[in-house]
Amino acid sequence: MPTQEQIKEILKTVQYPGFSRDIVSFGMVTGVSIDGGRAVVDIAVTTADDGVVAELRARCERAVSALPGVQGVEVRIDQKKTEAPGSGFAKSELPGVKHIVAVASGKGGVGKSTVAANLACAFRLEGMASGLCDCDIYGPSMGLMFGTTERPLATEDEQIVPIERYGLKLMSMGFLADPETPAILRGPMVTRYTQHFLRGVLWGDLDVLVLDLPPGTGDIQLTIVQTLALSGAVIVTTPQEVALIDARKASGMFAKVNVPILGLIENMSYFQCPSDKKKYFLFGEGGGRKEAKRLSVPLLAELPIDIAAREAGDAGRPIVLADPSNPVSRAFRSAAQAIARHLAEKG
């Protein structure tokens, strides 16, 4: 006969639908008992999506039934439905911020932070009051990309005053921590930091706040999509299939909580040789376009591998500001204009 500890251990293999984290680490398992050969699992969730509840019950039943000695499984789910219609979660806005746009990817190394930084700058050049929050607690990079090591100040009521650079308001873990010291944090602390970066910062009046999310679908992403009323998300990928697979996971996460996908940006689409102007598709061709069509969302940009863009980011001045005439800069401006039009149409 299995023990309570064994049942809890097997429940750690059950992921919450749409996310990569398990229900035990999320704190959703409120009780486990065993009576004879019958296992009883109590779970508490907050969602308006009955399909999520059904899938969660089925996953738990399959997992626990696989334990030797289990003759039956009862999964009791305490479902608290939210007031936000169709959202699945109770979400709120940030005071003074009109629109919140998340920039996400399924995997690392696709240039998501570069895209987020340049989009925020492009919004600023379009006349929008813009801010950028680096939500990657473990690998913050906005300090480097904006060329600042300034430390933010705090008010008497412990509100953080964001750094201002090139007319943008910025916040990043990199502004607070020693750059040589890694952030070694468990899930609950990561959630707390994320909440404080968003709600504990004096963003003021902004037309758009860009969130640079870490790769994947973990703690930080879950905290944001559960608690913030996002205007939409931009998915960043590269053309090859290994990146597109993870991009689909990211878009699936937003679909689970009814966050609209504003569009897809394909980075590292090609390399154009300076001597003969011939394009070389190093990571494949057309992958982003096909994925955008599959998702029925706009392909906002196909960004080439560009030395000037890389140098600008390393120098602390995003390419959109450093060289507005660069083709990459024009592509970012075009993407920002398309997103701004969509946001204006949706109010």
Same structural domain, 69 and 34: yes
Same structural domain, 267 and 295: yes
Model confidence pTM above 0.95: no
Same structural domain, 76 and 118: no
Same structural domain, 148 and 241: yes
Closest CA to 261 of 347, 345, 342, 344: 342
Inside any domain, residue 87 = no
pLDDT at 236: 92
As a whole number of angstroms, the distance between CA 98 and CA 128 comes to 11
Rounded alpha-carbon distances, angstroms, from residue 78 to 47, 107, 260: 10, 33, 28
Same structural domain, 111 and 205: yes
The 8-class DSSP code of residue 180 comes to T
Closest CA to 263 of 322, 179, 183, 335: 335
pLDDT at 89: 40
Same structural domain, 104 and 200: yes
The 8-class DSSP code of residue 240 comes to S
Inside any domain, residue 91 = no
Burial of 233 (0-12, 13-18, 19+ CB in 10 A): buried
Same structural domain, 174 and 314: yes
Same structural domain, 107 and 217: yes
Positive or negative, the CA dihedral 211, 217, 223, 225 is positive
Owning domain of residue 26: 4-80
Same structural domain, 76 and 106: no
CA-derived radius of gyration, the chain? 22
Sheet holding 29-35, edge to edge: 29-35, 38-46, 72-80
Q: What is the CATH number of the domain that holds 213?
A: 3.40.50.300
User: How many other CB atoms are there within 10 angstroms of residue 9's CB atom?
Assistant: 13
As a whole number of angstroms, the distance between CA 46 and CA 221 comes to 16
Inside any domain, residue 85 = no
Axis-axis angle for helices 327-346, 112-125 (nearest 10): 70
Inside any domain, residue 89 = no
Residue pLDDT tens, the chain, 347 long:
788 899 999 999 998 876 667 888 777 899 999 888 899 999 988 777 788 889 999 999 999 999 998 899 999 999 876 444 333 344 567 889 999 999 988 777 888 999 999 999 999 999 999 999 988 877 788 888 999 888 888 887 778 899 999 999 998 887 876 656 555 555 567 667 777 777 888 999 999 999 998 877 667 777 787 778 889 999 999 888 777 887 887 888 888 778 889 999 999 998 988 888 888 988 888 888 888 888 889 999 999 999 999 999 999 999 999 999 999 999 999 999 999 998 887 76
* The token pair that represents 49 in the structure block: 């999506």
Same structural domain, 61 and 146: no
Q: How many domains does the chain have?
A: 2
As a whole number of angstroms, the distance between CA 230 and CA 215 comes to 18
Domain end: 80, 110, 134, which one? 80
Same structural domain, 197 and 51: no
Q: What is the CATH number of the domain that holds 57?
A: 3.30.300.130
Closest CA to 259 of 289, 227, 299: 227
Inside any domain, residue 327 = yes
Inside any domain, residue 174 = yes
pLDDT at 86: 36
Give the 3-state secondary structure of residue 39: strand
Locate the DSSP E strands across the chain.
29-35, 38-46, 72-80, 97-104, 130-134, 153-154, 160-161, 163-165, 168-172, 206-212, 232-237, 261-266, 271-272, 279-280, 299-302
Inside any domain, residue 113 = yes
Rounded alpha-carbon distances, angstroms, from residue 145 to 36, 122, 166, 179, 310: 60, 15, 12, 14, 10
The amino acid sitting at 224 is I
Which residue is associated with the tokens 């109010």? 347
Buried b (16+ CB within 10 A) or exposed e, 31-57: ebebeeeebbbebebebbbeebbeebb
Residue 82 Rama label (left phi>0; alpha psi -120 to 50; beta): beta
Same structural domain, 138 and 184: yes
Inside any domain, residue 232 = yes
